[in-house]
Amino acid sequence: MTKTHTAAAYEARYTAQLSRKPAAFVLLAMLCVGTLTAGCDAKNKPPPAEVARESIGLQVEGLNYSNVPIGVFYVNGQRAGNVGTYAGGRSTATAIGLPAIWHPGLEVTIKWRNDLLYAKEPEGLYTTVVEVPRYTGFQGGHFWVAFLPGDQIKVYASPYAPGHPQFPNPELINPRQYCLMRPACRDKFYPGERVPETWETLPIALQPWPPPAPAKP
């Protein structure tokens, strides 16, 4: 059967439309994917800068409640100096930043080398990850790293020192007092020092005022 001119023209036009449909479908698919991607990106964007947590700077202080000197210690990679036996303080000033608002699971990495490890491995370091207890209501202060007997480590963020009634751990006192209250420790590390009176080891808020007269020998 011979096609008429009109029929041939219609068929050519229809075929051309079919050949263009895949490109149209691809374009439509790309538009849909782009829309979905934009939606995902919006959900995955970090929170605005104004709601990001600010940081507070804290001066690192060491507290050594053991009979082994701490040659060096680090907090999150920052060198914090050394701490003598039953002593507190620092020999190298350093500071770290913590979120201004405490959150559960907040941790720091502590690395240290005491004299026992140094004797075996001069460049060796112990490493532990320690959870930071809750803190609130201050914009600066100290980050206390307490080295306890048995290589246990506790940390505290606080503007107050051990022995102060608002220090996070009411059971911790100054390491020197801790030693002086124990005769064997006092005789070995602080010979000749007097034993603190019981009231002297109480938190400041509970100490009597005026202080009692010292006991006569």
Is 191 part of any domain?
yes
Q: Name beta bridge partners: 157.
A: 143
The token pair that represents 165 in the structure block: 């009634």
Show the DSSP H helices in the chain as ranges: 5-44, 115-120, 175-180, 183-189
Please, are residues 134 and 105 in contact by the beta-carbon 8 Å criterion? no
As for how many domains the chain has, the answer is 1
Is 70 part of any domain?
yes
The residue range of the domain holding 67 is 56-205
Give the C-alpha separation, 24 to 30, whole Å. 10
pTM for the structure as a whole: 0.67
In tens, the pLDDT along 146-193 reads 999 888 999 999 999 888 888 999 888 889 888 888 888 889 998 988
Q: What pLDDT is recorded for position 178?
A: 86
Is 41 part of any domain?
no
In tens, the pLDDT along 9-58 reads 444 444 444 344 444 433 334 433 344 334 444 444 444 443 345 889 99
Is 175 part of any domain?
yes
Is 3 part of any domain?
no
Is 198 part of any domain?
yes
Is 130 part of any domain?
yes
In tens, the pLDDT along 50-80 reads 334 588 999 999 999 999 999 999 999 999 9
Is 78 part of any domain?
yes
Handedness of CA 37, 42, 46, 49 (dihedral sign): positive
